[in-house]
């Protein structure tokens, strides 16, 4: 069974930091893309960041560029999202998923989708 379990969310004040983890099982990180997405209340799920295990290509949404960092720990089969300088607009449920479509940040190309982890940022 392919699983990606997002964790590490919580409630922080604006300017704070969180590190989200996505523990993967049932597949290897060879030739896949791993993405973080988020969904705020009343909004569509949107891409946050992408990383390719194939060549290390990284993509960031403009809204978080310079504040968030995506990286992989291959030994732990885990992808992380380090979130700094958090803003209230970062409040959302954060999800991780994988894709075989190189360079894609389209929700449609990713899966499977778990329950995600809640991030709440207050001012």
- Quick: pLDDT tens for 69-78: 999 998 999 9
C-alpha 91/C-alpha 122 separation (Å) is 8
CB within 8 Å of 15: residues ≥ 6 apart: 85, 86
Confidence label for 30 from pLDDT (cuts 50, 70 and 90) = confident
pLDDT at 36 (0 to 100)? 98
Provide the CA 27 distance to its chain's centre, in angstroms: 17
Q: What are the backbone angles phi and psi of residue 83, rounded to the nearest 5°?
A: -115, 115
**pLDDT digits over 35-46, tens only?**
999 999 999 999
CA quadruple 108, 109, 112, 113: dihedral, nearest 10: -40
């Amino acid at each position: 069974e392919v699983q990606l379990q997002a964790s590490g969310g919580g409630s922080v004040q604006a300017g704070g930091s969180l590190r989200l983890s996505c523990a993967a099982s049932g597949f290897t990180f060879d030739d896949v893309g791993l993405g973080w997405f988020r969904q705020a209340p009343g909004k569509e799920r949107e891409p946050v960041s992408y990383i390719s295990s194939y060549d290390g290509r990284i993509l960031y949404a403009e809204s978080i560029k310079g504040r968030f960092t995506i990286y992989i720990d291959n030994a732990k089969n885990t992808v992380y999202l380090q979130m700094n300088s958090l803003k209230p607009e970062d409040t959302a449920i954060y999800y991780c998923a994988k894709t075989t479509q190189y360079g894609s940040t389209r929700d449609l190309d990713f899966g499977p989708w778990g329950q995600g982890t809640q991030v709440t940022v207050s001012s």
